[in-house]
Amino acid sequence: MDVKQNTVLLVEDDIDLRETISEYLNGVGFEVVLAENGSQGIQKAIQHRPDVIVCDISMPGITGYEVFNMLHQINTTSVIPFIFLSAKASKEDILLGLHLGADDYIPKPFEFGELVKVIRRRIESRQRINEVNDEKFHAILNNSYSGTVILKGQVIEHANKQFADMLGYYQQEIVGNNLINFVNKDDIRAVSDSIAKCEQGAIKDFELEFKAIHKNSNLIDVRFKGSNVVFNGEKRIVSSCSSEVDVLKISSTKESKKVGQVKLSARELEILTLVCQGLTNAQIAEKLFLSERTVEGHRARLFDKTGTNSAVSLAMWAVRNKIINL
């Protein structure tokens, strides 16, 4: 069985040094992509998605610092380990490189063996992070109250039981299918456009309502929320899809004990539970792969719908209405 070689993008304007480093890295098992200037480096980083980038700082045109800044703004390249390689060896230069967010800074001249050690260390570190991300993604899928899917483009890579149940399928019938196959024809364009914009980075997240097609051919109203994330170094969309549930609203004021009905979506129920567990907006956002602003919006709507104004009063409301047990 072939073992995938790790790919190193080497951005170096000195042709002799570039060829020497490339030959050495090839000799110890790396696949090397070469770029002779910063502009080429950016293009090849986007094109090849290497496992690590080794970049000189002092280059004509675009400097190494600028290469790093530009790649750091792109989702698919921002997670790639970045190593500065430069004759600039002052303490200030090293601190500047690391302050920008680079993973390592190797001053010239250097030992090739040391460069290889640093490259391997950074690749191993990235792999460990990816393993944690993989666990986190599956935890989200398995523990979410709402139907949750991970999309690569429009293709469903992962789907939890809640999502499959909502549409009347088994999970294995869902995974590998195009999400559009489950969308009513009148809503296909809106869903496709939102996914495309999110995938391209034009928007970070989105929310829309559409009619989904149940296995029994019935149409069901769902609310769909998607967020752009990087998973194992690749761009994905994490999406929740839920129908609404009704819960009884009981006012906490003495003037009235019952004020109609409140509709809480599955996502709101999920966030309500986490708020009652004492999690902050930042912790909830990380757990559910949402932005903090999105969580803040859900929390505000929960306060408004339940007539509460704090996490404590919200928890009391939830207990009174038998939504959670504390």
Where in the chain are the domains? 7-134, 144-242, 245-320
Tokens of 228: 């752009």
Q: Is the per-residue pLDDT at 132 higher than 60?
A: no
325: region left, alpha or beta (phi > 0 left; psi from -120 to 50 alpha): beta
Q: What is the structure's pLDDT at 70?
A: 87
d(CA 284, CA 74): 25
* pLDDT, the chain, mean: 79
What pLDDT band is residue 32 in, cutting at 50, 70 and 90?
very high
* Greater model confidence, 211 or 240: 211
Residue in 243, 271, 239 with CA at minimum distance from that of residue 159: 239
Q: Is the per-residue pLDDT at 166 higher than 80?
A: yes
Give the position of tokens 């080429």: 40
* Mean pLDDT value across residues 207-235: 80
Q: What is the structure's pLDDT at 249?
A: 39
- Length of the chain equals 326
What is 7-134's CATH topology? Answer: Rossmann fold (3.40.50)
Q: How many CA atoms lie within 13 A of 268 on its CB side?
A: 23
Q: What is the structure's pLDDT at 19?
A: 94
Among 89-93, 98-102, 126-130, 254-258, the minimum mean pLDDT is found in 254-258
Looking at the DSSP assignment, which residues form a beta bridge with residue 223?
209, 242
Highest-pLDDT range among 195-204, 214-223, 226-235: 214-223
Beginning with the edge strand found earlier in the chain, give each strand of the sheet holding 205-213 in spatial order.
155-159, 147-152, 234-242, 219-231, 205-213
Among 18-27, 47-56, 194-203, the minimum mean pLDDT is found in 194-203
Note the Cα 171 to chain centre separation in Å.
22
Among 53-57, 80-84, 233-237, the minimum mean pLDDT is found in 233-237
Question: Is the distance from CB of 139 to CB of 150 less than 8 angstroms?
Answer: no
Residue 299 phi/psi, 5-degree rounding, is -60, -45
d(CA 284, CA 259): 29
Tokens of 127: 């792999």
* Mean pLDDT value across residues 207-230: 83
CATH of domain 245-320: 1.10.10.10
* Greater model confidence, 279 or 83: 83
Superfamily of chain region 144-242: PAS domain (3.30.450.20)
* Greater model confidence, 7 or 266: 7
| The model's pTM | 0.46
What pLDDT band is residue 24 in, cutting at 50, 70 and 90?
very high
Sequence-separated (6 or more) residues with CB below 8 Å from residue 248: 258, 261, 262, 321
* Mean pLDDT value across residues 233-256: 55
* Greater model confidence, 3 or 310: 310
* Mean pLDDT value across residues 196-212: 82
Q: Is the per-residue pLDDT at 251 higher than 50?
A: no
Single-letter amino acid, residue 253: T
* Greater model confidence, 243 or 270: 270
The kind and range of the H/E element at 312 are: helix 311-320
* Mean pLDDT value across residues 214-236: 78
